Amino acid sequence: HCFDKRLRIFFLHSVYIINLFISFELQFRLGPTLQGKHVLVHTNYPAPGKHFDRHTFQALDWHNPMGREDDSDKFCTLDLQIAGSYQYYFGHGHEEKSGGGYIVVDPVLRAGADNHHVHLDCITIQTYLSKCLGHLDDWPARLRVAKESGYNMIHFTPLQTLGISRSCYSLADQLSLNPEFSPPGKNYTWTEVGELVQKLKKEWNMICITDVVYNHTAANSPWIKEHPECGYNLVNSPHLRSAWVLDRAIWHMTCNMADAKYAAMGLPAQVQNEGHLNVSAIRNVLWEQVFPKVKLWEFFQVKIESTVEEFRTLLTEGAKPDQKKTGGKQGLKIIQDPKFRRFGNKVDMDSALETFVPHSRSPQAILEACNWLWGRLEEINKEQYQQMLHHQEQAANCIVGNVVYERLADHGPKLGPVTRKDPIVTRYFTFPFEEKSLEDDLPMMDQPDKARHFLAHNGWVMGDDPLRNFAEPGSNVYIRRELICWGDSVKLRYGNKPEDCPYLWAHMQKYTEITAKHFAGVRLDNCHSTPLHVAEHMLSAARAIRPNLYVIAELFTGSELIDNVFVNRLGITSLVREAMSAGDSHEEGRLVYRYGGEPVGAFVQPSLRPLVPSIAHAMFLDVTHDNECPIQLRSAYDSLPSSAIVSMACCCSGSTRGYDEMVPHQISVVKEERFYPKWNPEAKASSPGEVNLKTGIIAGKLALNKMHQELASKGFNQVYVDQVDEDIVAVTRHCPSTHQSVVAVCRTAFHNPKHHQYRTEVPPMFIPGKIEEVILEARIIDRQAGTYKKCEKYINGMPEYTVEIKEHIQLKDSGVVKHAGVTSKGSSEFVQEIIFERLTPGSVIAFRVSLDPKAQELVGVIRHHLIQFSPKYKPGSLPDQHTPTILETPLAQIMSKLTLGDMNMLLFRCDSEEQEDGGGCYNIPSWTSFKYGGLQGLLSVMADIRPKNDLGHPVCDNLREGDWMIDYVSNRLVCHSGALGEVGKWLKAMFHYLKHIPRYLIPCYFDAILVGAYTTALDTTFNKMSSFVQNGSTFVKLLALGSVQMGGVGSFPALPPLSLELPDIPYRLNKDTGKKEQCCVSLAAGLPHFSSGIFRSWGRDTFIALRGLMLVTGRHLEARNIILAFAGTLRHGLIPNLLGEGICARFNCRDAVWWWLQCIQDYCTLVPEGIAILRCPVVRMYPHDDSEPQSLLTQPLCDVIHEAMTRHMQGIDFRERNAGPKIDMHMKDEGFNIVAKVHRDTGFVYGGNRFNCGTWMDKMGESDKARNKGMPATPRDGSAVEIVGLSKSAVRWLVELHKKGLFPHSSMKIHRDGKEVKVSYEEWNHKILANFEKNFYVSHDEKDPNEKHPDLVHKRGIYKDSHGASSPWCDYQLRPNFCIAMVVAPELFTVERAWKALGMAEKKLLGPLGMKTLDPDDMVYCGVYDNALDNDNYNVARGFNYHQGPEWLWPIGYFLRAKLYFAKKLGKETYEQTVYLVKSILSQHYVHLERSSWKGLPELTNENGQYCPFSCESQAWSISTVLEVLHDI
């Protein structure tokens, strides 16, 4: 199942690690901070037909399948076909590398004559110490034990010639096969080894791997003597000289102890107890006999006399410091002697001359300066002396600790007396010369021909940084004696590149290539202390020979982050994990859960999905060859259950040879010289040189290994671990397609049952489903075969134990289970209670469990019906024998009949909308309610739950506990007629099956059904929209969804009735009256606050949003209906602010009518034959200003438009009906007076007063405490810039229409000065054009004659927010409104001036998501909106600053559209730069939209994009104007 094409998406924004399989496609996509930038991605993954070279990078090509409007779908791709570790990096602008990381592609392993694929989780590995296999001819008989025990991989310790210590990991020659493998008269080579490996692979289906050891070689390696530069010696690493001196001194201390020379000091050679050790005695010898002799501090000190004399000479000669070196700063600098000689450190004389300056050149002054330097050098030498004392203290501690462990500790080797063979501590350096006295030794370090052979041994340092090389300069490990030293090995010194040590790199590369030629994989020995760059180089060489190289390693870094560094740079496939690290059964079970698999009942993940961080793939071993013996640490009886727990892990599992045979001691990689027993099915228990299925737990391990491989190969990738009691662990492996499970119940025996009192009663287990069989039941039992006696020739185990095992039996035949009964069998439950009889410590029982037949059938049927959404549901599917009629039709076909208004009900509708129908959004007690009643409400939550498989989430709990949520989803729709009801019936039919499957599976399948329905609904939705949406990016589609979110039909019609003469008006039957009524879609202003009742529809909001949400998305009919419905409410020449179905309308805004006119213009422009709307009939609700609501008069839209224009030219001046607290409890009386006129000279529409607010910035003060009640925060009276722009757009358009014969009116008849006069549209148009910049542009010229209030100017090169305000300073406030005028009437603006003004807006007003509504330099600016705050601050109380700083989203659309328009005028380069800027800005909106549970963009944010709790979570005009930007691009 590894070879299906699966896609993973990685978002570029930071350093990251990527782990994938061959055949996966990896897509790199731009993270939000990179969208809109020229980003280049480079990788060293080889181009097709090329060989891999770690240092050769290629740039990947970008693809943007959905066009150019944004970067949300832009990607570059890698088709991963070659295993290994690959690097990538990305950069933009002048930064070549802004970030990067590694891609690890796991290898494909194959075995058998058919070369079948072995999945990594199928691996069961057994480690062999190669030196214990004997002659190569005997290997098959000894390795057959692994085959017969069910293993499919063998790990050999190194097969090379061993060093003098005989350690498996101390190699004398990395290139030659160990001669011990050749019997007398034969000389086997790597060829014969390779042939055996191939035989095991083809005939036994076994894969072989071996170790590579890179960081040391045996101390007696012949080649290291010829090439001592390959190690750390005193010539190439003189920083080790002092450590070597100490090492020699400690060696001579060993000799003196061995010769009883310290007996008088209480320190005999035989250290037998704490008294003999006499810690103070050993320390006394060190501090009195050793440290004083060697004077290690001298290697780091300055020779004062000669240094001061040199300084004196310089002063006498009048020398001055080199200022380039000192920078004029005082402070004495000491230069470390690169040769590390005694008193070899030097003083930087420039720093001395800068620091110790004589007050004159007199001899006395020079003497004083020299004395001053002398004193400072004495201080420095003393500091070095003290530092060395600290090092010596640590060295003494380490030496004493070593002696305690090696000679006294019960868990140590108890070496006995100190001798030259067993020194007090292991030597840190080789000494290949005749032993003499210390005094004779020390001069040798100054003789290069000898010093080059003093090579540092390797080892490990407890708690050290694994990424630091402890032998390099800067480390004090050797002098502090902190190295736990391997005295048989020499640490290798590679340098930074092959040129630094050519012989070593070439030698080790050849070693690597030999290994890769013959073995399928390698184990990186001591990986954590192998230099990363060396391992990278060597593994690249190995993969050049064997691309599918399997790489494992043990890492002792103590940090998962550092582990990942190794895993990703080296391409490690599996990290070795030890069950022996668990101190009890609970921890052992936790490791199983940790190291692989999904939880049981996990959600189905999409094939194309983002990458998420994960831990490295595990190779989980019951024991490694480095572990202490489990039988000694735990008990013999624990061998089987702990091994079973490990085998149930969803990852590689394995063991070390000897564990299964129950060898009761650690098999030492250094000291073990015996051979492994051979396989003989007929062997007797008492035969130490042969083993078979009756030996130890081999029979049990065979069954466990077979089960482990079956579970992995058949997709049992879900895991549940249950800690039944303190000793019993039950591990479940579950297959998500067939829903079969295997449950292994393991009773551990960490303590020997013969000496430990275990509980006699075992808790019963409750297993959901039907137990098909007992796969195996086994336990360790005693047998009469004699007691263990260590064999001299063979590595023998304990004959007194064997395994009693039964396999594939029925439950009734079990000897472990006493009783099994069905405890509950409801409509969706089938649970079997298991009561145990003989689950003794050391026992294991594994059940194969299926769903009960009915549930199995229902799950299969559900999967069958889900295939229409994805073929991944085919496995485990069953045809439906009794398919309900509704399920015979594909859901896509049913949904194709839905209108986009229906989609609003299916997908969205917030709580207040649902309440209009008498319902509400689904609420989970003790948690919260969903944001929507429709599918989006659930899917938004599931989008967080699904990737994390958060089955403990309250939503999942609710689904498992009852059918309430399931019924809510279908019942909400079933009650509707038509296609919406059909969708409800389809869901209800699917849910009928769902309710009768086990409850633990319901979250998974409920989600699968909803995801299928949701994605089908989205596909249907977009197919009903414009080609711009259909062919658009993900971002475009998400924004277009806002059209469905905001556009719906409530229980009560929001729009007044349309003319019956119009075609295609939607109708429905009124639920209460049964009569036919119009049901046109209306636009909600924002969710959740402006979505229902009279507060749903607002004139201004509707027509700011209509172009983006209805016209751009192709919803032309709904747009027509909304335009005509509002046209019918025209009164006083205005359309309503708050619509209130027309009956409760308020005509208190000056701008809504101009937004309405702009939308009619846009309709005519964007809709095919849209000009026909001008002839559409409009039912006038108010034929006269004082009419009661009616529907008698009908007139064409063009006449309604003309009336609105004429009324403005005549001058609108009225008082709102019902003025007073009944319609506005905050407004002062003067605020109810509405004025909107056209200035005779300028043509500017003007109006309002300081007591009302007729534009979108309409906050009315509400606080008595702050005394702002009844005062508008932003009256914007006079001529608001956007109204001037909108009116200019409308007038220009009507002039053009009339010229084309499409608008019947060329002028307006008005009464002026008692006479009827005509004012032409052309004249009006010209006046605005001629006067706009004269009155709105704030010039850089301080003497501009057009400037009426130069004293109020505080920003130049901008456009005023208004003209003629009652408070003149308000005109000069920098706000984003001029951008609107730029978009709708760009002809008003000079290109260069417009561009600079937009630059100022960008600098001062642009926020992450929105535009600041006021210049932050303004004295009343406040960017945080808090409508609940009521204090005495006039400017902020009760949200008075609503439009005085908070960052509103919708103006950003006009700002960006204006930028794009004028950038195009300035040339290609400016335009392209602007497009990238726009994409970069909008990437933030994309991220917000994706992550928002509302799937919308908010009304506003607080300053710098901070969340504002008082904002609508999703606002129609916010979504609309951003969509318009993408449409413009």
At 80, give phi and psi (nearest 5°).
-85, 110
Q: Is 528 a catalytic residue?
A: yes
Q: Contact at 8 Å (CB) between 1310 and 1317? A: yes
* Closest alpha carbon to 1119 in 1130, 1134, 1108, 1128: 1108
* Closest alpha carbon to 942 in 548, 1445, 245, 1493: 1493
Catalytic residue among 216, 528, 996, 1305: 528
At 653, give phi and psi (nearest 5°).
-135, 170
Q: Is 525 a catalytic residue?
A: yes
Sorted by sequence, the CB contacts under 8 Å of residue 600 that are 6+ apart come out as 718, 719, 720, 732, 734, 741, 1000
Instruction: Dig out the tokens for 326 from the structure.
Output: 């000192």
Distance CA 156, CA 142 (A): 13
Q: Contact at 8 Å (CB) between 500 and 494? A: yes
Instruction: Dig out the tokens for 278 from the structure.
Output: 């006499």
- Measured at the CA of 256, the angle between CA 250 and CA 257, to 5 degrees, comes to 90
Catalytic residue among 138, 337, 422, 626: 626
- What amino acid is encoded at 1475 in this protein? V
At 334, give phi and psi (nearest 5°).
-105, 130
DSSP conformational letter for 772: E
Q: Contact at 8 Å (CB) between 617 and 642? A: no
Cα distances (Å, whole numbers) of residue 585 to 445, 591, 633: 55, 10, 14
DSSP 1267-1282: T-TT-BS----BEEHH
Q: Contact at 8 Å (CB) between 1404 and 1375? A: no
- Going edge to edge, which strands form the sheet with 216-218? 216-218, 484-491, 457-460
User: Helix 1152-1166 and helix 1116-1127: axis angle, to 10°?
Assistant: 150
- Taken as a whole, the chain contains a residue count of 1529
Three-class secondary structure of residue 706 per DSSP = helix
Distance CA 30, CA 1484 (A): 12
At 1523, give phi and psi (nearest 5°).
-65, -35
At 20, give phi and psi (nearest 5°).
-140, 175
Catalytic residue among 525, 622, 902, 1224: 525
Distance CA 1241, CA 1324 (A): 10
Sorted by sequence, the CB contacts under 8 Å of residue 77 that are 6+ apart come out as 25, 26, 27, 28, 60, 63
Taking the CA atoms of residue 158, residue 164, residue 165 and residue 171 in that order, the dihedral angle to the nearest 10 degrees is -20
Q: Contact at 8 Å (CB) between 1065 and 1077? A: no
Instruction: Dig out the tokens for 1427 from the structure.
Output: 């409508």
DSSP 474-511: T--TTTTT--EEEEEEEEB---SSGGGSHHHHHHHHHH
Distance CA 208, CA 918 (A): 69
| Three-class secondary structure assignment of 133-155 | CCCHHHHHHHHHHHHHCCCCEEE
Task: Indicate the helix (H) or strand (E) that contains 41.
Answer: strand 39-43
Sorted by sequence, the CB contacts under 8 Å of residue 207 that are 6+ apart come out as 109, 111, 118, 123, 152, 153, 154, 200, 201, 520, 521, 550
- Cβ-in-10-Å burial (0-12, 13-18, 19+) of 116 comes to exposed
Distance CA 1303, CA 724 (A): 84
Three-class secondary structure of residue 1376 per DSSP = coil
Q: Contact at 8 Å (CB) between 614 and 19? A: yes
Residues labelled as active-site residues: 525, 528, 626
